[in-house]
Each structure stands twice: as C-alpha cells, then as structure tokens.
Structure 1
Amino acid sequence: MMNLNLKAKSCFIIAFALTTSAFAQITPKFKEIHAQFYGKWPKTITFNQKTGFYRADTLNRSQIWYEAGIFPNLFRIDLGDPKDGNAIIYRGDTTYNFRQSKKLKPAVNPNILVYLLGGMYFETLDQVNQKLAKEGFDLSKGFKSTWKGKAIDIIGVASQDTTKSQLWYDAKNHYLVRMIQQSEKSRLECQFEDHQKIGKIWHEGNVKIFVNGKVVQTEEYHDFKINVDLNPDFFDPDKFGSWHWLNAQ
C-alpha cells in the first residue's frame, strides 16, 4: 500500500510548485498594483449614477441608478426609483433580476467590473490570477505606454494590440483607466475617467461603455461614499424590498 503521509507530502509539494510558478509569471507591475490596495480597499461603497443609453452613437434616454456593494462579491443596482422594484443583485457569479419587485430566473453572469474595481483586492494574488485568466486576461504580459497625455501600464499584452483582453492602469496612482475584454463574438470596452481620491483609494467619476466599438452606455457617478453601514439582507434576493440603504442615511 502507498504511504498516505508520503502521498500527501508529494501532493503538497506539487501544488506549491504550481502555485509558485503561476505567481512568478505575473508581471511585476500588476503585483505592485495589487499590493498597493490589497487589504486596504473599503469594505462597502454606495453611490448614484446618471446612466445614458445610446443607440447608433446617439443618446436615446437616461435614468438614475442607485448602487451599493459589499466587497468582494455582493453588489446591487436599483434601476430608477427603488420604490418601483426594478433591480439587479450580483452575488458572486450569480445574477438576480427583479422587475416590479418580482424575482426573475437567476442566471450565471459574473460582473467582471465589480471584481476589477474592488473585489480583487480582497483576494490573494494567486486567486486574482486564476479568476482573471478565466476571463481572458493574461497577467504575465505587460508594457508601458501613454494615453490621453498620461503614462499608463498595460496588462494582458506585451505590445500594442487592442484585439486581445487587457487592463490599462494609471502609471502613478494605479487606478484602472481602460478595460478591453475580447471574446470570440464580441468586444467589451470600458473607459474610466475623472478619478477622485477618497480615503486610500481612487474612484472613477465617469464611465463610457462600448460594445464592438460603438458606445452603448455612459455613467456619471455622484455622492460616492465608502465604509457605509450596509445590511447584508439588502443583497439577499429572498429578502428583496425589506431594507434599502437610501433610507438609512
């Protein structure tokens, strides 16, 4: 019979070697970015945003959204007046949609932006590497460039190539300024602008979202707050409507 202790020890050595190897392949710049905010990101955020919807590059309509999150993986968006009961709740990789307070069928739909804009700073570098690799981002590649007159660090490609998934960070303050996520059938691009510092972090003030090169949505953030006391029930799809953070402020 095999020595179970020896087998366990061998498995540990192999697992450690694989983890160490994956960690070593991450570009030093991304390690630096992650280290700056790891363990320092606020646990909760709240804000409201003016959301613009575009069709054929023309503004079609706008709406106010109310958003709140408990990192690393809880986020909720109330679409318009919260009293109308139209909302989206993200819990990890599952999305729950509500229309007039009625819960629709849940769907597997991880929100990559919740992760990139806060969630990843609650996980180890190896966990971040694994998750972003599944989303198509290669953290072993990167190079320096400029964009809109500022120095940036691009993670995900080794040279200028916007046909692949990549993350663009401000070289000085390490906040995300652009994300491109390329799949076989579509390309999602988000541009983050007008960053403001609050506490130890920077948050974006405006976001432009493009699908296949065409602008589909814009967002203007207002009343951004951190470390707000949020009730976890607010993110529980089975307790929808029982509590709202706007009423607690």
Structure 2
Amino acid sequence: MKPLALILFALIFIQPHNTSETVLAKMHAKYAGKWMKSFSFTQTTETYFNDSLIKTATWYEHIVYPDKFRIDFGDKTSGNAAIFTPDSVYSFRGGKLQNTFSNDDDLTFILGGMYFHPLDSVKAIFGRLGYNLGKFHENDSVYVIGADSTNEAANQFWVDRHKLVVVKFLNYSHGEKEEGIFYNHKQFGNSWSETACDFYINDALVQKEIYRNCKANAVIDLKIFNPHKFVQVQ
C-alpha cells in the first residue's frame, strides 16, 4: 500500500481518541454562549435516613449563571434561605443572618456555570475542584471525566454521550463518598436541566429532589443574591 493510501486510510477509519479534555471541549463548543442565563424552579425535597423517608419540604431555587444561587426553604415569606456566593454560603432564618461558611458546592459550575468561562479557565477550575483531567474512560452511554475505571474512588462526573450533559457525579473530597444522579432531563431552548436527582452519602440515600414550575431565562432581580442586604423573593 502506498504512503498516500495509508494516510487516507488513517483519516477515514481511525477515530480520534477521546480524553477528558476533548469531551470538555465538545461540551463547551455545544453550549458556551447558548446556555440559559437563569433558571428558577420549585423543588420537592425528600430527606431519607436508613432508607426511610423522614421529611418532605418545598424549596424555591433561583440561579443566575455562572455563580449566583439562592434557596428559600418552605414559605417564601419566612425569610429562611441560603445564598451562595463563589466562596461562601450565607444562612438566614427569619430574614436574619445566622451562619456563614465556606462554599464547597461545585454543582452550579458543573451543571451550567462552566459555559460562562473560557475553556482554559474551565479546565483550571476543574483541577482546583479536585477532578483529575488526566483520567478518563467511556462506555456506550457515558463519558467519565476524572476516573480511569468504574470502581475508582476518585472525584468524577459522568456525561451523557448524546446530550453532552452531566448525569452523575462522585466526590470523595471530605472523607466520604458523595454521589449525585441527575435524570428526567428537559430541554429549555439550547440548554438542558435535570428535573429529578438523588443524592447518596456512602451509598445510603439521603435526599431526593423533584423540580416543577421550571423557568429558564426569566428576569431575576440580582438583589436577591446580596447576602449583605436580605431581600424577599417574590
């Protein structure tokens, strides 16, 4: 076979090798500049202990990407809320600040915030969050970023091969196994959101969430995300 024929054969039949970085590039190319700018929904939250449902509550959640997030617990007029900033979480009761603690939530970034940063910054942020982009594997349904095998105890997230959205994450950063599974995805313009998710700690179910009244790209008053001046959500 002549050298030119060999080159043509390689171009036609040899597929590019996927890696964590190439998958992130695919996701970024598909959604950057197109992802919804805001998302609001009402959430039914079920809390579990020893596989038994112990509490059901209603939460009202508002997100403005890339990093503004607020949850109001129960009656929106109660003033019971949590406001997430890039580095801190502010907990309010009755509209009064009760506690402030470090924000270690990476889901707002993973589930949409990443598309509001340049790709190089996305890779750097994942590194800071403890995801090793040098590790990767895949199967017929998902790409797995951050782990070389299914059973590896490493921070990782799973990406649907077709929609290129996150459907699962595993995090081992705090001395325990935290797992989130995201499903019942619905499309909102050029974006997707899970409308149900389950969370586990050390393989025990701790929380189930179901979304309703989902609204993408609604105008949200940014004052509700100001932790220094509490504003009621309307």
Q: Place the TM-score, normalised by the shorter chain, in its bin.
A: 0.7 to 0.9
Percent identity for Structure 1 against Structure 2: 32
The Cα of 1:95 is off from its aligned counterpart by: 0.5
Q: How many residue pairs end up in the alignment?
A: 216
Secondary structure of 2:29 counterpart: helix
Q: Which runs of 5+ in 2 are unaligned?
A: 1-18
Give the structure 2 partner of residue 201 of structure 1. 191
The Cα of 1:130 is off from its aligned counterpart by: 1.6
Give the structure 1 partner of residue 130 of structure 2. 136
Give the structure 1 partner of residue 159 of structure 2. 169
* 1:48 and 2:42 aligned: yes
User: When you count helix as a share of all residues, which structure comes out higher?
Assistant: 1
TM-score by length of 1: 0.83
Secondary structure of 2:139 counterpart: strand
Secondary structure of 1:40 counterpart: coil
Q: Which runs of 5+ in 1 are unaligned?
A: 1-24
Secondary structure of 1:163 counterpart: coil
How far does the alpha carbon of each residue in 1:83-137 deviate from its partner, in whole angstroms, 9 at most, with x for none? Answer: 1111000011211000121102321113211111111110112211122112211
Q: Is the 8 A contact 2:20 2:145 kept in 1?
A: no
* 1:57 and 2:43 aligned: no
* 1:104 and 2:91 aligned: no
Q: CA RMSD in A?
A: 1.4
Among candidates 193, 196, 214, match of residue 204 of structure 2: 214
Q: Is the 8 A contact 1:73 1:114 kept in 2?
A: yes
Give the structure 2 partner of residue 4 of structure 1. none
Cα distance in 2 for partners of 1:171, 1:59 equals 33
Compare 186-195 and 126-135 and name the one that shifted more.
Answer: 126-135
Cα distance in 2 for partners of 1:216, 1:199 equals 32
The Cα of 1:231 is off from its aligned counterpart by: 0.9
Secondary structure of 1:30 counterpart: helix
Give the structure 2 partner of residue 159 of structure 1. 149
Q: Is the 8 A contact 1:138 1:156 kept in 2?
A: yes
Q: Which amino acid aligns with 2:186?
A: Q
